[in-house]
Structure 1
Amino acid sequence: MEATGGAAGEQLTLAGLPEPVLGGRGRAATRRRTLEGLEPAASLPVARVCIDLPPAHLDRVFEYLVPEQLSAAAVPGTRVKVRFGRQDVDGYVLARTPDAEHDGALQPLRRVVSAEPVLSDAVARLARAVADRYAGTLADVLRLAIPPRHARVESEPAAPAAGAAPSLAPSHGAVTEAAVTAGSAPSGRAASSEAGAPAPVPGASVPEDPGAPSAPAPPAGPSTEPQPGPGVPAPPAGDPTGPQSGPQTVAPVHGRLSGEAWLPYRGGPAFLQHLAAGSAPRAVWTALPGPVGARWPDAVAQAVQACLVSGRGALVVVPDARDVAQVCEALDRAEVPACTPDAPGGYVRLAAEDGAAPRYRAFLAALRGRARVVVGTRAAAFAPVADLGLVVCWDDGDDLHAEPRAPYPHVREVVRLRAELEDAAVLLAAHARSVESQALVETGWAREVSADRAVLRARTPRVRALTSVELAREGAAASARLPGEAWRAIREHLAHGPVLVQVPRAGYVPAVACGRCRALARCTACHGPLTLTSADGVPQCGRCGRLATGWRCAECGAGALRSVRVGSERTAEELGRAFPGVPVRSSGARSATGVLASVPATPALVVATTGAEPVCDAGYAAGVLLDAAVASASTSLRGAEDALRRWLAAAALVRPSTDGGVVLLVGDGAPRPTQALVRWDPAGLAARELAERHELALPPSVRVVAVTGGREAVRAVLARLELPPGADVLGPVPVDEGSGVVRSGVASGRGRAAAAPAQGSFEPEVRALVRAPVAAGDALVRTVAASVAVRSARREGGTVRVQVDPAEML
């Protein structure tokens, strides 16, 4: 075993291994190297292996000897067991070579865990690129990309691949050495063209192969920054995504649907035409609400259809399992069938919620070329789709797309890197628009696909903001949580169908205060906030769970409590009393019925927390968005963006204004997202936010690396940095529990806990931000990764976490 990647003529022997045996290089010398009497493989006796160990200084390729008895099974991409130091560790065979770079003896492979080559060449190159962009290791990314092995599923009889139709022939290939080292391996598109798949139409963008080096601090290579390029390639007649005159048409696509869902959008038909022709357009799509057949899942299904016509596969990544189900239902309506052992060539769903066996079965179906379409959640961005032609990311602003495990990649960036590596089309879609997607549009990396204002007014409900100024004429009733105007609107629209009520907080009463002095009620053990789980329940600590029986206020000694914040369950209870005889349905992770997927079109009150709004096929008659001030009061960098995204997600489920649909925003929300909601202008808000971030040097106008940990450990990492021109360091400063900075590297929310003292010590954590211009972003990440690798090799004390482009900076 030897660690490659050092300087020419220098080889590093790891501690605990036998002393190297000097010998000549070449095939004959390699075959003479034996250990414990093992005979090397007759052909390609050296395996280059990525070992599954976390230390950053081990992020390189190691060489092992392939015994003859393992030669047939140890093909590139397979899982193996190897000896590393004094332990057996897991690894992946990246390549087989005739010669070794090391002159000494090589340790042999211990065993082949499975003969299934689970690591494809395309996924290996993507994993290397993601690791380089996020200052991580290849092993960390592969743990995210490849699901745990399920032996029973792997041993199931393999059905034939989806190769009956020439246009759907898979191009599955094992990993090669060029996948993880700098080289000139053919891109995924070039390989598929050689296999007989349709070639891209003239004028399509074919990026250079950005092979990545394997050392922790590689030399400068291809940039991982989004470079300006053609979004939707222009046809001879001009720009297909710009304003078009006359009616738009689209060529018929396979299946019962033929692209009707894209007709209302500027550039939509052209996007499908280029997909069907085998091109690789890049688009940022602002979706509109609509009836069944015209909603976003149906439009995504039609884009998948167009991609299948070109003979290529497709990948759809969505935030949660409910969205996966909606896309699968739309694919069924579009006559894109599910992949089964008897009918390969359709789609599979790849989601952790499905369980270990179904997830691994779907992974193998894609790996073996039987499934041409993969629909899944975050980890599906790495799915081994053969001859990938389209990658769709729905709602890229959702925090579920941010990976909470190292190296903390974001699906949007994984999708972008994969599209460039495999020359695939990209569709970033949402009802709202993230600032990062807006940056891709403004830099020319992608084109905007959106509807005209006339179409928007016809497809969206009427939106009103019931602020304190708007309700001043109601007097004291204006301060009520549900003012009289909202109550009258609910009563009126209940006659025509269900009414959706969105509440930003879950639970019954998430926070209570002293009934006399209004001081926040806190636990006497941990000082966490007290909550109520029911009307007659005992106050309970929301942090440690301890019951506060006989609680007395520490300020005034009173024992009475009053609600400070009202959750979805209390809201449902109050609405049930206000509208007797009307069914009330609750949807949320903490509700008794859980998260509802859909509701019937009969009159009912549907109370849902943000992100848990069920779908009504006929559309809601009205929508009421409560507690606007709470929903938009965040001091987060993306507080306005997140508030608008959540409001639009609920408003998009309401019928259009032409059918009487209305949305009421109740409360004094932040002016910027409130105005954007009333105008239904997410692109305008994103453009304004991006312009301000340019002025303030905030992401995505700059690259930022957050270094968090003990003070001395962080200082040591910063001291070794060789900063590129224009870079600067902010901090380090203490990390406060209430700052929103969390151990997973994303904003606290959805049940994630805030940061704690550094592991193994009582030393408070500090955080430093290293900032650089976008053009110097790759150099910044490389120097941070090199410093962390030195820290790992020296076994410096303390704990340090590194995150590139964190979701939160404040």
Structure 2
Amino acid sequence: MTSDAGAPQQELPGMARAGVAQSRAKAAATRERRLVEAEPAERDPIARVLVDVGPAHLDRVFDYVVPAAMDAEARPGVRVKVRFAGKEADGFLLERTATSDHTGRLQNLRRVVSGEAVLAPEIAALAAEVAERYAGTRTDVLRLAVPPRHATVEKEEPLARVEVRSDPAEAAAAWADHEHGGAFLRRLAQGAAPRAVWNPPPGAAWPQLLAHAALTARGGVVLCLPDHKDVARVSAALTALAGPDSHAVLTADTGPARRYRAFLSVARGARRIVVGTRAAAFAPVHDLALVAIWDDGDDLHAEPRAPYPHTREVLLLRAEAARAAVLIGGMSRSVEADHVVRAGWAHDLLPTRAAVRAVRVEVAGASDFDLARDPLARASRMPRQVHDLIRDALAVGPVLVSTPRRGYAASLACERCRTPARCAACAGPLAQTGPTTPPSCRWCGTAEPAWRCGTCGHRGLRAPVVGESRTAEELGRSFPGAAVRISGGEHVLTEVPDRPGIVVATPGAEPVAVGGYAGVVVLDTWLSLARTDLRTDEEAVRRWSAAIALARPGGRAVLVGDPAHPALQALVRWDPAGFAAREADQRREAHLPPASRLATITGSPGAVDDVLVLLEAPEGAEILGPVPIDEETCRVVVRVPRARGSALSQSLGAVQRSRAARKLDPVRIQVDPPSLD
């Protein structure tokens, strides 16, 4: 009896599940039938939808019918759900039309996800331009442009619109150190569209200058910065001038809710000024009047995801379409910024000579004059000029010491014969992580406490390249009364107080000193110039000038290196425009960007060969390679004159679509990559 009575009870859960599944299937079928039988909207019943699907050959608009029940919500720019290839897919409704070119039967929209119009028409057009420029797809661009939906945020009370303006007298006074600063501001205030490449003097409060320009513009403003530290500085400047509600901040590290809230405040017109990182270039500000980018040479402006657009190029495309003002700023100048000045598309916005002389920059190196004063200057990592500057500057404020390597002793060599120290187990390079730790291999981690030189048998070690920790240790011994702090790696300082002390930092991790540094030292410049890269000298000048710019007016800066090197000489003169022009001339002679347009094709040898067979390269194209990257990957570089850059991008896009339709092995195509390493 027990077993007979229990049998049906054991089958009930399975039967219940089957019943639930049948009920859901019937409900879904009913909804599908109602959707199919739904009457279309009376006015403009056709919705043109960009469906979020991956393959490049499907990067086009598809037509769907708008049911009458969705007529009010199905507006251009909203997110929708559609039926595509037998599955439900996401998409953006781009526009409504009365008719369709499709001769067959059209499916209905399945659902309007939200009535919030998050894709403005100008941003949709910009996404199409960027996708064509970088041989990518619009859906990939829109993933960068439109943040993921946050339903809870959409239900919140909309922010009130805030109107903010700059004080003309205060803005003019702030820009007084620039020869044409007043004219640039007047043009902005008149609603004109001036275009300038801006290089402020060392010690300038550039976040405040950028904030004044944004507040002066008569319309929407987009300010793009390399990282969250710069965003915070500009945001603080805008808050000080116009209050906390004067702008919206768009960065990836603010979290999904805050980011979407800021995005909606801009899309709804409540905020006209946007400050952010790469994605802010696509912010849907109303009545765009000014786009600005700071430090466009920083590689953080290059998007690491397909189709790999650069913030500067996105902003220039956007400004051209909206006829907006452009401000490309930085302590140094990229060759791309120099190109737009040479082409006459933009003008120089440079400081007066008096402002440039406010910070004295010099080089401590092995010139004849230096050797006469200090015979050991040729071999010294910190010549006497460095110690003199640090001693004098510590009497009045903090000192910044910039060193290009992290760690303690990044490499070791024999103290006697200078032979590089190698691991006995794997022949890898030895390094030292601290003053009390034994040397160990950077490859396999094996410790070598009893290391002996294989060439001369000597046991002593020296450190030809030292990191910020060893540098701080040496400075602590040389200046025992000074507090020494380190900024780099996982411990990056944001700000230091205005009191005597030494800050040792790696490039990009230099904290801002309240009131500015009394002295700045840049060590081991030879190491930064030893990289094998297309932008070696340009990147070195960019990093050094960013460090020197943190000095206060009246401060001093010393670079340790070869006084005759053009990069160091450019900093002594504080001539970023002249140095960029020199670099551009050399690039032009070598047929390198920006004088030409480059594209790299990376993938398996077979896939790369297939691309080259399909590619209809423009006239004058040069194909360099293939060059092996590793055992399974190779790379080809395609170079064309700049005038044929658009044709190259279009040809590469056509190849991507053709290969995607045939489901061939993917390749990585980058147009104008930031570097070729």
Report the TM-score when normalising by structure 1.
Answer: 0.75
Kindly report which structure 2 residues correspond to 1:204-283, keeping only aligned pairs within 5 A, or say none.
253-254=166-167, 257-283=170-196
Overall identity of the aligned pairs, in %: 49
Deviation at 1:513, TM superposition (A): 4.8
The partner residue of 1:796 within 633, 644, 664 is 664
In the alignment, is the contact (CA less than 8 A) between 1:724 and 1:772 conserved in 2? Answer: yes
Q: CA deviation at 1:463?
A: 2.2
Separation (CA, whole Å) in 2 of partners of 1:469 and 1:800 = 54
- 1:234 is aligned to none
Partner of 1:499: helix, strand, or coil?
A: strand
**Displacement of 1:679:** 1.3
**Is the alpha carbon distance of 1:784 and 1:528 closer, same or farther for their aligned partners in structure 2, counting shifts above 3 Å?**
farther
8 Å CA contact retained: 2:365, 2:563 = no
Helix, strand or coil: the match of 1:622?
A: strand
What is the DSSP-based 3-state SS (H/G/I as helix, E as strand, rest coil) of the residue aligned with 2:517? coil
Corresponding position: 1:448 with 2:448? no
CA 538–380 in structure 1, closer or farther in 2 if over 3 Å, else same: farther
Query: Given the alignment of the two structures, is residue 155 of structure 1 paired with residue 155 of structure 2, yes or no?
Result: yes
State the partner residue of 2:602: 708
Q: Does 1:519 align with 2:432?
A: no
Question: In the TM superposition, what whole-angstrom CA distance separates every residue of 1:26-65 from its partner, at most 9, and x where no partner exists?
Answer: xxxxxxx997434433333222111222321111112223
Distance 2:604 2:644 in 1: 27
CA drift at 1:765: 1.8
Higher mean Cα deviation, 563-572 or 410-419? 563-572
Q: State how 1:416-435 maps to structure 2 within 5 Å.
A: 416-435=316-335
Distance 1:385 1:521 in 2: 57
Distance 1:669 1:408 in 2: 38
2:379 to 479, 486, 500: 479
8 Å contact kept, 1:461–1:655? no
The answer (yes or no) to whether the contact 1:316–1:393 under 8 Å persists in 2 is: yes
Query: Contact between 2:36 and 2:107, CA under 8 Å: does it hold in 1?
Result: no
Counterpart for residue 99 of structure 2: 99
Alignment of 1:554-565 (within 5 A): 556=454, 562-565=462-465
Q: Name the structure 2 match of 1:74.
A: 74
- Please state how far the C-alpha of 1:86 moved relative to its aligned partner: 3.8
Residue 316 (1) aligns with residue 316 (2): no
SS of residue paired to 1:259: helix
Report the alpha carbon displacement of residue 556 of structure 1 after superposing the two structures with TM.
3.4
Contact 1:468 1:479 in 2 (8 A): no
Change (3 A) 1:430 1:522: farther
Alignment match, 1:302: 212
1:535 counterpart residue number: 435
The amino acid of 1:426's aligned partner reads V
Alpha-carbon contact 1:730-1:769 (below 8 Å) kept: yes
The match for 1:18 is: none
The CA RMSD measured in Å over matched residues stands at: 2.6
Q: 1:696 aligns with which of 584, 590, 610?
A: 590
Q: Which residue of 1 aligns with 2:199?
A: 286
Letter in 1 for 2:565: P
Alignment of 1:136-175 (within 5 A): 136-162=136-162
Unaligned runs of 5+ in 2: 1-32
In structure 1, distance between residues paired with 2:150 and 2:430: 44
**Aligned counterpart for 1:395 among listed residues 295, 298, 303:** 295
**1:581-627 Cα shifts (integer Å, max 9, x gaps):** 2111212233xxx2222212211001111112122232211111000
* Map of 2:83 onto structure 1: 83
Correspondence 1:365 to 2:265: yes
Q: Is the 8 A contact 2:45 2:66 kept in 1?
A: yes
Higher mean C-alpha displacement, 38-47 vs 385-394: 38-47
* 1:333 CA drift (Å): 2.9
Distance (Å, rounded) in 2 between the aligned partners of 1:37 and 1:553: 83
- Which residue matches 2:534? 637
**C-alpha displacement of 1:631:** 1.6
Amino acid at match of 1:684: G
Residue 419 of structure 2 aligns with an amino acid whose one-letter code is R
- C-alpha contact (below 8 Å) 2:46/2:97 kept by paired residues: yes
- 1:555 Cα deviation (Å)? 8.5
SS at match of 1:510: strand
2:565 maps to: 671
Amino acid paired to 1:501: V
Aligned residue pairs: how many? 641
Q: Distance in 2 between matches of 1:415 and 1:366?
A: 17
Q: Alignment partner of 2:470: what SS?
A: helix
Higher share of residues assigned helix? 2
Give the counterpart letter for 1:91 in structure 2.
G
CA distance in 1, matches of 2:298, 2:364: 24
Contact 2:598 2:672 in 1 (8 A): yes
Alpha-carbon distance change, 305 to 523 in structure 1, aligned in 2, over 3 angstroms: farther
Aligned to 2:445: 547
Matches within 5 A, 1:593-672: 594-656=491-553, 659=554, 661-668=555-562, 671-672=565-566
Q: Is contact 2:413-2:419 (8 Å) kept?
A: yes
For 2:474 and 2:397, how far apart are their aligned partners in 1?
Answer: 20
Counterpart contact for 2:441–2:447, Cα < 8 Å: no
Kindly tell me: are residues 122 and 518 of structure 1, through their superposed partners in 2, closer, same or farther at Cα, counting changes over 3 Å?
same
Q: Is the 8 A contact 1:512 1:563 kept in 2?
A: yes
Q: Secondary structure at the match of 1:316?
A: strand
Amino acid at match of 2:466: V
Distance of 1:56 and 1:522 partners within structure 2: 49
Comparing 785-794 with 55-64, which one deviates more in the overlay?
55-64
Distance in 2 (CA, whole Å) between partners of 1:641 and 1:537 is: 37
Give the alignment's TM-score, normalised by structure 2: 0.89
Find the counterpart in structure 2 of residue 462 from structure 1. 361
Report the Cα offset of residue 775 of structure 1.
1.5
Structure 1 unaligned runs (5+)?
A: 1-32, 169-251, 340-345, 736-756, 758-762
Larger Rg: 2
Contact kept, 8 Å, 2:365 with 2:378, in 1: the verdict is no
Counterparts of 1:182-197 in structure 2 under 5 Å?
A: none
CA distance in 2, matches of 1:653, 1:712: 51
8 Å CA contact 1:724–1:779 kept in 2: the answer is: yes
Deviation at 1:281, TM superposition (A): 0.7
Q: Which amino acid aligns with 1:652?
A: A
Is the 1:76–1:95 Cα contact (8 Å) retained in structure 2? yes
1:687 aligns with: 581
Of 58-67 and 432-441, more deviation after overlay is shown by 58-67
SS of residue paired to 2:275: strand
The residue aligned with 1:770 is 638
C-alpha displacement at 1:321, in angstroms? 1.1
Q: Which one is further off, 549-558 or 363-372?
A: 549-558
Asked if the contact 1:136–1:406 (Cα under 8 Å) also holds between the matched residues in 2, the reply is yes
Counterpart contact for 2:468–2:505, Cα < 8 Å? yes
Aligned AA (1:40) = P
SS across alignment from 1:315: strand
Q: CA distance change for structure 1 residues 714 and 553 in 2, over 3 Å: closer, same or farther?
A: farther
Say whether 1:781 aligns with 2:649: yes
1:162-216 CA-partner distances (Å, limit 9, x unpaired): 4xx6xx8xxxxxxxxxxxxxxxxxxxxxxxxxxxxxxxxxxxxxxxxxxxxxxxx
| Alpha carbons 1:629, 1:670 under 8 Å: kept | no
Deviations 1:728-757 (A, max 9, x none): 21222223xxxxxxxxxxxxxxxxxxxxx5
Task: Provide the C-alpha distance between the structure 1 equivalents of 2:577 and 2:499, rounded to a whole number of angstroms.
Answer: 34
The residue identity in structure 2 corresponding to 1:133 is: R
Name the CA distance, whole Å, in 2 between partners of 1:67 and 1:560: 82
The one-letter code sitting in structure 1 at the alignment partner of 2:190 is A
CA distance in 1, matches of 2:611, 2:469: 48
- Partner of residue 132, structure 2: 132
Q: Aligned partners of 1:777 and 1:481: how far apart in 2?
A: 45
AA in 2 matched with 1:140: D
- Structure 2 match to 1:355: 255
Comparing 573-582 with 41-50, greater Cα deviation is found at: 41-50
SS at match of 2:96: strand
Q: Which amino acid is 1:722 matched to? A: E
Other-structure match for 1:751? none
In the TM superposition, what is the alpha-carbon distance from 1:770 to its structure 2 partner? 1.3
SS of 2:669's partner is strand
Alpha-carbon distance in 1 for matches of 2:155, 2:670:
39
1:667, 1:463 → 2: CA distance?
A: 10
